[in-house]
Structures are given as structure tokens and as C-alpha cells.
Amino acid sequence: MTAFALDIAATDGAARLGSLATAHGPIRTPAFMPVGTAATVKGMLPDQVKATGADIVLANTYHLMLRPGSKRVAGQGGLHRFMGWPGPILTDSGGYQVFSLSELRKITENGVRFRSHVDGSYNDLTPENAMAIQHDLDATITMVLDECTEHPATHERAQASMERSMRWAQRCKDAFRPREGYALFGIAQGGTHEDLRRASAEALVVIGFDGYAVGGLAVGEGQEDMFRTLDATVPFLPHDKPRYLMGVGRPDDIVGAVARGIDMFDCVLPTRSGRTGQGFTRRGTINIRNARHQDDPRPLDETCACRACTGFSRAYLHHLFRCGEMLGPMLLTGHNVTFYQDLMAGLRGAIGERCLEDWSGEFLARYRGGDVPPL
């Protein structure tokens, strides 16, 4: 079996180029994880996801514990086999969705009780059963249960919330059943308060995890505060462990976070945007539903090797979205995930050649300055 370990091949400033060995294969870092909420990256077959260059996908514990249920997934041989993705899978702890999706919730020191948004049933999520559920799912990377602090939060409120998350993190560590090549990640909280972020990072390091996530960002604080918070957190995380910025983000967020030493990302943006007709290109984002594309024989992005760009015109993609045809979201999702993976490959290449700042500057100038109108 393979030990779970990050091999850092090169650095450029705070940025790191690496390879993360896991029980289900290696992950090239910095990595972007496409989101497969309900054990499927919406509109894509697993081999299509793999073909974009993705090494790992994320699945949501909250959704899967409700449907089909973690015991049912275990009965099918685990999530990898169930969804036909043999590679690494990270599952979140369900905490974030409890706060954003469930109808009612009551939080205590023990955990959180909530009503399912699917059928109204009452369910509990505690540090202990969050570990058991993710074990049943057979997640390669398990995330601790944390409390998602609302934004904005006063220092007092953010501190109390963060400290509870740290107590939960210890309980998760105690309940987690380690296996070779599998990992448990802690999650730093503390809102945008720099002292709390440092305290949270240090508390997690004392407990000791296989990787460290920065949670509670991309919740409306803006890019400047996000980067400032990263600067206050990342230096207090171990150099030799992977760092994961949860739920981020836009291409320019990712570029900035990689420069600050982040190794892993996830976000629904490429998949969700793909379903609504928004496509990412190297010259900015475009809305394919816009009438100006209806006679355009060019591909979405001339430099992209995805199926949408090598096989179809903007005119055809526009037509598919206008008609509500499934193939539109299928093709545009595949394109957007490819765009994100190409971005990560570009960032990795630049770190390896120690030219990240130049590469990022050129990327951002083209991305922000293209003749493509913003979304």
C-alpha cells in the first residue's frame, strides 16, 4: 500500500509543485477537484472527468448520507466503485451543507441536528458519526466536522465558533480510523480575524492531521480579505502537508491562492456555470446564450482541446442552450472543467520553471482584459 504523503518537487515563493500519494493514486498539486455532489460530476462520465486532467473529485457527505445513505454506498463497495471513479475522492464533512441547505438545525456542543431538505427527516451530524459516514463512503480524504461561521462575524462570535470547531476537530481525530493511503484533514476557521486564524492553525497542528484546510472563506468577504486571511493562516501550517482552500473559486482566486501556498481547491463554479451557459475562456467568461453567438462558427476557445471546442461551434452550443438540450450543459461543463484543469496544469508548469509571477500576470491580464464581455 501507498502511504499518504506529499512530495514537493519545486517551490516558487510560497507556491509549491508536488505530488500527493494516496491509496487511490497520485494527485498532482496544485490540484482542482471537480465537485461530484451526489456521487456524479453533473453531466459528465467519470472517464470524461479524468480526461480533463482531474486526479481527484469531491463528493458531499450531506447529500450522500441522505441519498442513497452511507450504509447503502458501503454495501455497493464504497463510493469509488459506486460512482465508477477509481481515483482519489475527498468528502466534505457535511457541515457546510447543513448550514446552507437544511431547513432547520440546532447546534449543540455534541453536534448538529437538522431536517433533511429532501424529505424533512431529522438527522444528526456529530464529529463521531461524520467520521463513521465518511468511512462507510470510503473517502480517500476525510474532512473533520466543523461549524461554518457566518460572515461577517464579530471577533467574539468567530472565536467561540472556531474554538468549538477545534474541539470537534480533536473528537474527529479520536474517532477517525486511520488506513494506509487514506487521510484526515483538519479545517482552520476564525472568520477574517487574523489572530483567530493563526490560533486555529496552531490548534490543528497540535492535534496533528494529514492535511490542513482553510474553511469559511469565499462566503462574501471579497478577494482582498480572502488573500489577507490566507496570509495570516498558511504560514502556520506545516510545510510538508497538503493545504486545501475549501470552496474556492474563480480563476483569479486560485491564481492568488496558489501563490500563497495553497495546494488543493474545489468549487462548483465550472460545473454550475456550465449548466447555465457560462463558459470560461482564456480571454474571460462568455454567456453562450447571448444572441451574438448564434452565427459564430468558431469554437468557444480556439486553444482548448476539450470535446466542445474540438467538435462544435459557438453557434451550435448557442442553439443547444436555446432549445434546452442536455448536450449543451454536457459540453459546456466538460469545457469548463477542462479550462480549470488547464489552469492548474499551467500553474504547476510555472512553479516548476519558477516563473509563477510572470505566468500569473500574463494569465490574469489576458483573462481580465480580453475582448469578451464579463458575465
Residues that bind its own copies (CB under 8 A): 38-40, 42-46, 63, 67-68, 72, 75-77, 82-84, 294-295, 297, 307, 311-313, 315-316, 318-320, 322-323, 325-327, 329-331
Choice between 118 and 206, CB closer to its own copies: 118
Residue 215 · residue 186 · CB < 8 Å: no
Per annotation, catalytic residue among 12, 138, 146, 266: 266
Sign of CA dihedral 281, 273, 27, 44: negative
Choice between 284 and 329, CB closer to its own copies: 329
Choice between 11 and 40, CB closer to its own copies: 40
State yes or no: is 7 an active-site residue.
Answer: no
Question: How far apart are CB 314 and its own copies at their closest, in Å?
Answer: 10
Choice between 234 and 306, CB closer to its own copies: 306
Choice between 52 and 229, CB closer to its own copies: 52
State yes or no: is 295 an active-site residue.
Answer: no
Question: How far apart are CB 271 and its own copies at their closest, in Å?
Answer: 11
Per annotation, catalytic residue among 12, 92, 146, 301: 92
Question: How far apart are CB 137 and its own copies at their closest, in Å?
Answer: 13
Catalytic residue annotation: 92, 266
